[in-house]
Structure formats: C-alpha cells, structure tokens
Amino acid sequence: MRRATIFLAVFLAVAGAASPSPALAQNDPIGNFFRSLFGGQPRPQPQAEVPKPAQSVAKPKRSEPVEPKIIEQPKAPDAQAVLVIGDEQASGLAQGLKLAFAESPSIEVFDKSKQDSGLVRDGPFDWAGKLPGLLAERKYDFVVVMIGENDKATFPAAVTGGKVEDVRSEKWEAAYKDKLKRLTGPIKDYGKPFFWVGLPPLERPSLSAFASYLNGLTKAAVEQAGGTSIDSWNGFVDEDGHFSYLGPDIDGQEKRLRSYDGFHFTRAGERKLAYYVETEIRKLARGEKVAPEPVLPEVQAALPKQQAAMLAAPPPLPPAPWAKVGPVIPLDGSGDTDSELAGGPVIRGVASLPDTAPPEAMPGGYPMTETPLYRRLIMGEPIAADAGRVDDYVWPKTP
C-alpha cells in the first residue's frame, strides 16, 4: 500500500511539472481526472483559433497621368469664337483646340460638349432641341461637332414606328439620318463655317467597325449641308491600320495618345485630334478661301507622224495576196480531175494563183524595202542592237 502511494505521488509530480502542448491538453482525460480527485483545477482547454477570412486584395487601378493645366493668353474683345459641341470625345477635342489657340489672342474656344450625350438616345440633353439656344447665346464664327461615341444603341420604338429596330438596320439608318439632318439644319441656317470631326478607331474591333460606319453616314450628311467633314482615323492607328494606344504626336515624337479605357484621349492625343481642325480654322481666320481643285482641260494628244508610227509598231501585212482564199480541192477524190503524181502538170479544173509581184509600198505609201522585216528576211541584213544591250556583240574600239 505504501509503495502504491509513493508511485502515485511521483506520477502526479511528473504530470504536474510537465507542460503538454495545447493539442495534448485537449486529449488528456486522465490528468484532468486526478486533478479533480485531489482538489486541483482542470487544465483550461485552449480555444481553437478561428481562421480569419482572407481579405481580397484590390487590384491597383491604372490611373491616368495628371495633365498640366492649359494656360490661355487673354483674348481680344473682337476675338473669333469657336463653338465645340458633342459628347466626351468632343470635350477632348475642345481641350486640344484650347491648347492649340492658347497663345492666339484672336481666337477663343467655347466648350459646350455634354457627357453621355448622343443622337440615338436624347436622354437629358436633346442636341437638336438645345442647339438653336446655344447658337443664340453669342456670335460664333466657327462651329465644330464631334459626336457618335454613345450611339451604338437602338432607337425608342416610337421613333422607328412602334418597333425596336436592330442597330444598322434600314429603319435604324433612316432614323439616324433624320437625326443628322435635324442637327445640321440649324448649323447650316446659322451661316457660319462648321466642321464635323469623324470618330477615331476604338479598342474593341466591333466598336471600331461601328465608328467607321457612322463616319460614312455623317460625311454624306455634313457635305450635303455645306459643312466640312474631317477624317481623323489615320492619326490613331498603327502601321497595319488597327487601333493603337501609342503614336506620333504633332511633333513626330512617340507618345501615348489614347487613355486606358480605349475611348478617350491623353493630352497629346487631344492636341493631335485638334490639329485636323486647327489648320482649317487658321486658314479661314486669315481670310483664305478653300479653293476647289482645278479642273484641267483635256489635252488632245498630238498624232505621231506617219513614218514614225510605222517604225514604232510592227508593220501591217499588205492586203493582197494574203487576204485571198486559195483553191478548194475536194478530199474525197471526187471531181473530173485526173490523178497525177507530185510534180506533174497542173491539175485540170483548178485555177492557178495569179502571177502578181509583191507590193513595193506599205499601206500609206511607206516603202516596203525600208521596213525592218524586209531588210532582215529578204536582204539578210542584221539588225543592229542598242549599245550596251545583251545582244550587242560589237567590241569597243580601243584608242
């Protein structure tokens, strides 16, 4: 009995001194039983750590570079005013024009573009209805339009006759042409020069194809209204004609021209876009008129001399006797002719060819004996080769 007590005491001392790991403490029912038997407190069970949910790491957004502020010189009281209307791309165009004319006190740019606007969905801004009021605000000398980025959408059913038509269908195209006419009409009646800048390519090929389609519609409508259609497409493509973020700026330096969204422009792109309009505005501001392409009168080609014409082309065959048909001989042996050996007398009943001498002159009076064919085949004269040609076998003369 005494030996069992000593063994139990040693066991408890060892169990109390040991510091089991948290994993072993959870599975130690014997130790906890003896502790509760001799008045000890059970070892506290460690709480299992609940794993924290992994926090999603936000991807860094590509931020556009901060463009420097455009500083414009004070404008003269009689400065010519340029009105820019359209959507977001027209806003970039206006910024480029402000930069282009920043140091020109005689030209001032007014940006009246509206974001998310277009011609298909009027939304909060109806350009055809708002434009007369904008033109009446002040006297503008030039009107610049760029719109269409947001127009790849269906018209309301009321516009197309109670049915939603697919984009680029016949009724959709007719409705869009009507919108163009309603917009270009007030500008034409305003009586000032106006320019319509075509859409550039976009990052998505389907949107680029639609932009090219719209450019064809707007070009016809603008030219019919007396405006100038400006093509900006080639300024924003690569060597293969595809959309490109990069490209040469107006100074020929490789720059980033388009923003990360594939729609809008960087400052260098805005300046390049404005360059297409700037050159036309400066010409008209200086009083230059765009002269139509001169129509050159038709120049009657001088007929070559007769002899030169003969030498320039192979001589024609003389009309006789080659133009005549020879005698007809039946191949079945019928007829009243006798069978004769070759070289015998002339076959009876067959007319012989007339004994005519070759003509002495070609048609037109040119001597037959002067033709290269006669000298080559009849006279046997060699035709002299041009000096240095591959058939020129004449040895050069040595001094």
Dump pLDDT digits (tens) for 21-50: 544 445 555 666 556 655 555 555 555 555
Tell me, yes or no, whether 337 lies in a domain.
no
CB of 379 within 8 A of CB of 373?
A: no
Tell me, yes or no, whether 69 lies in a domain.
no
CB of 255 within 8 A of CB of 249?
A: yes
Which residue, among 43, 33, 45, has the nearest Cα to 8 in the 3D structure? 33
Distance CA 48, CA 39 (A): 27
CB of 101 within 8 A of CB of 277?
A: no
**Model pTM?**
0.58
Range of the domain at 140: 80-285
Pairing of strands 246-248, 254-256: antiparallel
**pLDDT at residue 24, as a whole number:** 46
Indicate which CATH number applies to the domain containing 94: 3.40.50.1110
Token pair belonging to 119: 């011609």
Residues 269, 103, 227, 120: what is their CA dihedral angle, to the nearest 10 degrees?
Answer: 50
CB of 176 within 8 A of CB of 151?
A: yes
Q: Evaluate if residue 126 carries a pLDDT over 80.
A: yes
Distance CA 92, CA 13 (A): 85
Average pLDDT of 38-66?
54
Tell me, yes or no, whether 379 lies in a domain.
no
Angle, alpha carbons 237-241-246 (nearest 5°): 25
User: Which residues are within 8 A (CB) of 224 and not within 5 positions of it... i.e. 6 or more apart?
Assistant: 184
Of residues 355 and 395, more confidence is placed in 395
Distance CA 115, CA 87 (A): 5
3-class secondary structure per residue, 40-58: CCCCCCCCCCCCCCCCCCC
Tell me, yes or no, whether 277 lies in a domain.
yes
Token pair belonging to 367: 């001597």
Q: How many domains does the chain have?
A: 1
Tell me, yes or no, whether 229 lies in a domain.
yes
Distance CA 345, CA 163 (A): 96
CB of 266 within 8 A of CB of 287?
A: no
Tell me, yes or no, whether 169 lies in a domain.
yes
Tell me, yes or no, whether 256 lies in a domain.
yes
Tell me, yes or no, whether 126 lies in a domain.
yes
Average pLDDT score over the chain? 76
Weakest-pLDDT range from 185-189, 337-341, 360-364:
337-341
Dump pLDDT digits (tens) for 71-106: 888 999 999 999 999 999 999 999 999 999 999 999
Of residues 271 and 355, more confidence is placed in 271
Q: What is the DSSP string of 285-297?
A: HTT---PPPP-PP
